[in-house]
Chain A
Amino acid sequence: MGLARTLAIRAVNLILVLLLVLFLVVVIIGATGTSDKILMSIVRQEVSTYRQAISRTITDPEALEKAVETYRQELIKAYGLDKPWYTRIGDMFRRIIFLDLGVSKSLQTFSGSNKVVDLIMERLPNTILLVTTATVLSFIIGLLVGVKLATAIGSKLDRALTYFSAISYALPTWWTGIIFILIFYFYLRIFPPGGMYSIPPPEDALARFLDLLWHVTLPIIVLVLATVGSNIYVTRTVVMNIAQEDFVLAARAKGLPERIVRWRYIARVAAPPILTQLILGLAGSIGGAILTETVFGWPGMGLLFYQAIISGDEALILGLVYVFTLVYVIARFVLEIFYVMLDPRVRI
Chain B
Amino acid sequence: MLQVFFSSSVSKLGVALLIVLLAFSIYALVAFPPDYGKLVWNNPKAWENYPKSAPPSWVNFFTQSKLFEHKILETREPVVFRAPDGTIKKLYYFDLDYDTDEFPKFFSMSLRDVRYWKSPPIIALKLLRPDGKAVELTSFIVSSPREGEKPPYLRYGEEPFILKIDSDVNVWRSISSFLKESYGLSFSPSEIGRNPERFIFGSPIEGNFSSPLKGRYRFEVSVTAYDDRDSVGDISLILGGSVYGLLGTDVIGRDIAIGVLLGFPTSLFIGIITSVIVTLIGCLLGIIGGYFGGKIDEITQRTSDIVYNLPLLPLTIFLIFLMGSSIWNIVLLLIIFGWPGLTIVTRSITLQLKEAQYIEAAKSFGSSPWRIIFRHMLPQVMPFIVAQMIFYVPTFILLEAALSFLGLGDPSLPTWGQMLELGFRNGAIYLGLWWWIIPPGVMIVLTAFTFVLIALGMEPVVNPRLRTG
Contacts and interface: CB of A to CB of B under 8 A. Distances in A.
A–B interface present (Cβ within 8 A): yes
The 4 A-B pairs with the shortest beta carbon distances in the complex, nearest first, are: A287-B313, A170-B448, A175-B441, A324-B314
A136 interface: no
Given A167-B445, A171-B445, A17 B306 contact: yes
Contact of B402 (A178, A186, A287): A287
Interface in A322-345: 324-325, 328, 332
Contact of A186 (B321, B406, B430): B430
Interface of A: 13-14, 16-17, 20-21, 25, 28-29, 32, 34, 154, 162-163, 166-167, 169-172, 174-175, 178-179, 181-182, 185-187, 193, 282-284, 286-287, 290-291, 294-295, 305-306, 309-310, 312, 317-318, 320-321, 324-325, 328, 332
B408 to A, nearest CB: 7
Interface stretch (B24-32, B155-163, B204-212, B432-440): B432-440
A321 B318 contact: yes
Contact of B313 (A17, A163, A181, A290): A290
Given A166-B456, A325-B311, A328-B311, A295 B424 contact: yes
Interface string B428-454: 011010100110010011111100110
Contacts of A283: 310-313
B322 A28 contact: yes
B260 interface: no
Nearest to B320: A309
Nearest to B434: A182
A21 B315 contact: yes
B398 A170 contact: yes
Nearest to B13: A163
Contact of A309 (B394, B406, B448): B406
B453 A166 contact: yes
Nearest to B453: A166
Nearest to B425: A310
Interface in B284-312: 305-306, 309-312
B401 A172 contact: yes
B311 A166 contact: no
Contact of A193 (B318, B429, B449): B429
B375 to A, nearest CB: 32
B407 interface: yes
A306 B406 contact: yes
Nearest to B423: A178
Interface in B305-356: 305-306, 309-315, 317-319, 321-322
B125 interface: no
A8 to B, nearest CB: 17
Given A29-B322, A291-B402, A309-B321, A182 B311 contact: no
B310 A325 contact: yes
Contacts of B317: 290, 305, 309
Nearest to A291: B402
Contacts of A332: 309
5 contacts: A21-B310, A169-B394, A170-B398, A178-B420, A179-B437
A178 B442 CA distance: 12
Q: Report which residue of A14, A21, A310 has the largest number of chain B beta carbons within 10 angstroms of its beta carbon.
A: A21
- How big is chain B's contact interface, by range? 35 or more
Interface string B266-279: 00000000000000
Contacts of B434: 182
A104 to B, nearest CB: 15
B163 to A, nearest CB: 39
Given A32-B322, A170-B394, A283-B311, 13 more contacts: A16-B306, A162-B10, A162-B456, A163-B10, A167-B449, A182-B432, A186-B429, A287-B311, A291-B313, A291-B406, A309-B317, A318-B318, A324-B314
Nearest to B395: A169
A32 B444 CA distance: 34
A166 B451 CA distance: 9
Contacts of B441: 172, 175, 178-179
B464 to A, nearest CB: 14
Nearest to B449: A170
Contacts of B453: 166
B2 to A, nearest CB: 21
Contacts of A28: 319, 322
B457 to A, nearest CB: 10
A182 B430 CA distance: 7
Given A167-B445, A294-B406, A286 B309 contact: no
A178 B429 contact: yes
B3 interface: no
A186 to B, nearest CB: 5
Contacts of B432: 182, 186-187
Contacts of B429: 178, 181-182, 185-186, 193
Interface string B395-415: 000100110011110000000
Contacts of A154: 468
Nearest to A171: B445
Contacts of A294: 406
B401 to A, nearest CB: 6
A182 B424 CA distance: 11
B405 A174 contact: yes
A171 B443 CA distance: 10
A220 to B, nearest CB: 18
